[in-house]
Amino acid sequence: ITHALVMVTMGFPVLGLLTSKSFNYYDMLESIQVNHSPLAITCNLMCYVSVGYFLMDSYFLVRKAYLKHHIGAISVWVFAAYHHETSLVHGVVIITLFETGAILVQLSRMYPTNLPWRTLICTGYTCTRLSITWYYGFTWVTSVMFFWDPNNSVIKQILYVPIWVGLIFLLLLNAKWTYMQWKALIKSYSARFGKKQKDDSEDFFTYHQRIIGNTTPVAPVK
């Protein structure tokens, strides 16, 4: 949660600077070029802080699922830092939106059986995923522009293909997680007020951990 809070604190100013003129993709691309220096400083700092956290956490954490995640995250950060003109900025904003959702998941543990609270969390979580979808559109626009850059080598052009496939995969995966959370919420409402079935659904946090593959139970916050 500390990592998530740090990422959000550092990342939202970056998003604010990108959208200072408008939310139009081409205005945002212009903002990247005009505000190159402050964006590079903030994004590189956020990158190194995040990599430092993952290195520290990998030393103390023995769970293989998290260890694989940390190694993958470090690899992506290092790759993005190599192309800090756009890729690092994209990584910072996307991680910020993802971590905002992660904070909401943690907040859901405060009142795990409260349906209005769960509805609020589910709505906020959905908004973060819609925001990610919107920003993925921006990464698509910039990557297509760089793809057709005559100065790019064939190798760089080929590398964009798995990037596009990865973006589509992540979009579909997040859409699936969001749909499953809303489906579980509706089921809980039906069981609570319909009185025709038993509410055997898990709370938002427990269900989220299960659908992302982290099945180790964690005690709820009291």
Chain-centroid distance of CA 59 in Å reads 24
Q: In the chain, what is the straight-line distance between the N-terminal and C-terminal CA atoms, in Å?
A: 16
Residues 6+ apart with CB under 8 A from 157: 147
Q: What is the pLDDT of residue 23?
A: 94
Give Dmax (Cα) for the chain.
65
Q: With a threshold of 0.95, does the pTM exceed it?
A: no
Residuewise pLDDT in 10s, the chain (222 residues): 888 999 999 999 999 999 999 999 999 999 998 998 999 999 999 999 999 888 887 666 656 666 777 788 888 888 887 776 788 999 899 999 999 999 999 999 999 989 999 999 999 999 999 999 999 999 988 888 877 877 777 777 787 788 788 888 888 999 999 999 999 999 888 888 876 666 667 899 999 988 887 765 445 554
Q: What pLDDT does 162 receive?
A: 80
Cα dihedral sign, 98-100-101-105? positive
Looking at residue 41, the DSSP 8-state letter turns out to be: H
| Cα–Cα nearest to 141, from 35, 44, 27 | 27
